[in-house]
Structure 1
Amino acid sequence: MRAMAAAGEQVDLVCTDPPYNTGHDFAYRDDFRDAGGRPGSRHEAWAAMMAPRLEACRDLLRETGALFVSIDDNEAARLRLLLDEVMGEQNFLAQVVVNLNPKGRQLGRGFATSHEYLLVYARDARRTVLDASSAETVDERDFPLLDEATGRRHRHLPLRNTNKKFNPITSPTLHFPLWGDPEGGRVATAPFPGAVEVTPVFGDGRPAVWRWSRPLIEERPGDLVCRVVRGRAGERVDVFQRDWLDREGGRRKKLPTIWLAEEIGSTDTAVAELKDLVGHVFESPKPTGLVRRVLGTMPPDAVVLDPFAGSGTTGHAVALANAADGGARTCVSVNSAEPTRPGSNAHAAGLLTVADITRARLRAVDRLLGGGLEERVGWEPSADRPADLVG
């Protein structure tokens, strides 16, 4: 990452899954290390390891970029405070609950934990291009009406603004009469035969305003319909927008802050994905569906950085996303030469470091999906400076 910074390179998205600080020693003995940790203060040691790396990620992010960091309960609170300091509290966007283990952990005492977190920050919340919505979360059942002439599904939304902050006093230009035919449904800004005058009102009868301006209504009359509705004071005539399922530009829906395993995959499906490529060589990878949902919030030509590449899920997900939508995303996957545990599946398979696992997966992905893979070593490995993988 230092080499990227020195070369003036920048990225649009940082998406990473750092060590979760489960009590084991860290394998990051390099020039980022701060010797401030005290015996027994594993939280401080973890924060000292993370802080300079997060600062480096921030410095590599474009002003329009965003950062997603996975974490569990061990350090969720401390990471939130650390990111507030590094990224700026004003740039916090969300703390997403990710349901990666639907059955919950059955080991040990206490609750069966079934979730982790995804902390989301913008480099600059005022300028970020992150779009916290997705086409995948759109439910066709929310659009129950069918236009017989076109066969298009839609729903009716009140044309009046239901937010009472917007009223004839605060938005006077949006308070004007329309004319509508409740029998045929036609709506216009001027009177026509068979039409009745309709003014926007709240449910209690107080004056309201329209959501659309007069020029927009004149431009899109076919997207409006006049109907008789029953309110508190009995029947009245009102105007509605035909909100089409297949609207121009694509239908998207705001992402919730709880992501279910049935939507984005689980730890079990992630293990299966990795096993199909290189074998069962990593205990808790992330599912590519999780990362693909993150990728969907950014432009299809985003440059992505994963500074804790681990099993290579982010690079794999980028390749899958490009194959699915023709995007031009690129991914830089970085991992230290953290040794795998002797006796583990990875070690038995000849993958002596976590970086070896990253390489093996990304090579398999390149053979399967293409897209190109470049490997290089940031510096020669030694006891104090483990090698980095960049792919």
Structure 2
Amino acid sequence: MEPWNTFVEGDNLEVLRRLEQREEVFDLVYIDPPYNTGNDFAYADDIRGADGRRRGRHEAWVAVMRPRLEAARAVMSARAAIYVSIDDNEAAYLRLLLDDVFGEECFLAQIVVNLNPKGRQLGGGFATSHEYLLVYARDPRACALDASSPDLVDERDFPLADANGRRYRHLPLRNTNKKFNPVTAPTLHFAVYGDPESGRVATVPFDGAVEVTPVFGDGRPAVWRWSRPLIDQRPDDLVCRRIAGRRGERVDVFQRDWLHGLDGRTRRKKLRTIWLAEEVGSTDTAVAELKALVGHVFESPKPTGLIRRILATMPHDVRVLDFFAGSGTTGHAVALANAADGGTRSCVSVNSAEPTRPGSNAANAGLATVADITRARLRAVAAGLGGGLDEQL
């Protein structure tokens, strides 16, 4: 069985090309590349243009990222997606770069991630409290990403229960969006028949039934959300009731909207494009997670909750790649997810032997390179959660 985590030390561009040569394929890529803040860029490569002049810092950053993103695309499966963390320094340039490498049609979302709820108080201007996640598919038609989560569903929204204790709520069968009406959706404007005493609903008359046509609260004609064939297929999921309308009592039809499907699966709710720290963790919680394993040895790690939300948008058997592995958060999150749900995810984390800053917590702890930090964390994860660790050079 493949270990949950593999760590490869080396230049990530060289490693990506080796992975392609070995025909390795990944279903999910997450990276948190260095953000260009004007300091020396760790992955400088050739930062001079064809004319020999030094590139501008944005141009240099794009020149470093382009071949790595192209190499990442080459090892992504048809069902794969890529998530890239970025801040305001390079967000605009990254969006254009990803459009170019993957195609504009492969863009899925630009997510705002609230990693610092208090906001950065140093310096002038606004107290920035967010970063971004840019999300692209390798192939939109085959991508396995499901942008929904069961964690966002509140059971309190389903106050009713059937005889078996199965929870549900009533939703109007009428389409409440006024863009949908007898003019724009004529096939969905028709009469149904319901008995408000028994609750029965059908598309043909029956004893005790009254005719019900869809109307808005002001009495204007509306349309149903379901077609006639669907109503015939699922009559037990509909109920006829008397309600107090704006113009007095009337009879209407409602859908029983179930919390759990007949197969026991919990419903899911679409993820919003703003992810709050209370949902995915913050830089502070990320520092605490890392400190508990190997000490306070990395300045701005990502919280495992952020990566676990990303993992939850993909199947439980994905192969994950992080070629800017930093402190090893992605590998840690994969192990946590597998331990929680029995998944068979695996993760390849790549990091270079970039020296840690002299006098830093990492250097004082004997971690001479950033790769040493990644390795130490993934070793601690394997020891604590299992799943193994394969270390490669």
TM-score (norm 1): 0.89
Deviation at 1:42, TM superposition (A): 1.4
Deviation at 1:188, TM superposition (A): 2.5
1:389 paired residue number: none
Q: 1:288-330 deviations in whole A, cap 9, x for unaligned?
A: 0000000111111111111100001011101111111111111
State whether structure 2 residue 255 is matched by structure 1 residue 256.
no
1:349 paired residue number: 365
Q: Which amino acid in the other structure matches residue 72 of structure 2? A: C
SS of the counterpart of 1:136? helix
Q: Which amino acid in the other structure matches residue 20 of structure 1? A: Y
2:10 paired residue number: none
CA distance in 1, matches of 2:72, 2:41: 19
- Point out the more displaced range, 188-197 or 324-333: 188-197
1:358 paired residue number: 374
1:386 paired residue number: none
Greater relative contact order, per chain length (Cα 8 Å cut-off, separation 6+): 2
Q: Could you tell me which runs of 5 or more consecutive residues in structure 2 were left unpaired when the two chains were aligned.
A: 1-15
- Point out the more displaced range, 42-51 or 179-188: 179-188
> Could you list the runs of 4 or more consecutive aligned residues of structure 1 that deviate by over 6 angstroms after TM superposition?
none
State whether structure 2 residue 233 is matched by structure 1 residue 189.
no
Q: Could you tell me which runs of 5 or more consecutive residues in structure 1 were left unpaired when the two chains were aligned.
A: 378-391
Q: Summarize the alignment of residues 11-50 of structure 1 with structure 2, pairs less than 5 Å apart.
A: 11-28=26-43, 33=46, 35-36=48-49, 38-39=53-54, 41-50=56-65
CA distance in 2, matches of 1:35, 1:299: 42
Identity %: 75
Q: Which amino acid in the other structure matches residue 224 of structure 2? A: W
1:96 paired residue number: 111
Q: Quick check: 1:28–1:336 contact (8 Å CA) kept in 2?
A: no
SS of the counterpart of 2:279? helix
CA distance in 1, matches of 2:139, 2:300: 32
SS of the counterpart of 1:375? strand
Q: 1:160-215 deviations in whole A, cap 9, x for unaligned?
A: 33345555566555444322122332222333332212223344545444333334
2:289 paired residue number: 273
SS of the counterpart of 1:82? helix
Q: Quick check: 2:353–2:370 contact (8 Å CA) kept in 1?
A: yes
State whether structure 2 residue 314 is matched by structure 1 residue 298.
yes
Q: 1:68-116 deviations in whole A, cap 9, x for unaligned?
A: 0001111111111111111111211111110111111111111111111
1:238 paired residue number: 252
Q: 1:259-285 deviations in whole A, cap 9, x for unaligned?
A: 110111000100010111111110100
State whether structure 2 residue 157 is matched by structure 1 residue 150.
no
Q: Quick check: 2:47–2:55 contact (8 Å CA) kept in 1?
A: no
CA distance in 2, matches of 1:148, 1:214: 25
CA distance in 1, matches of 2:126, 2:181: 49
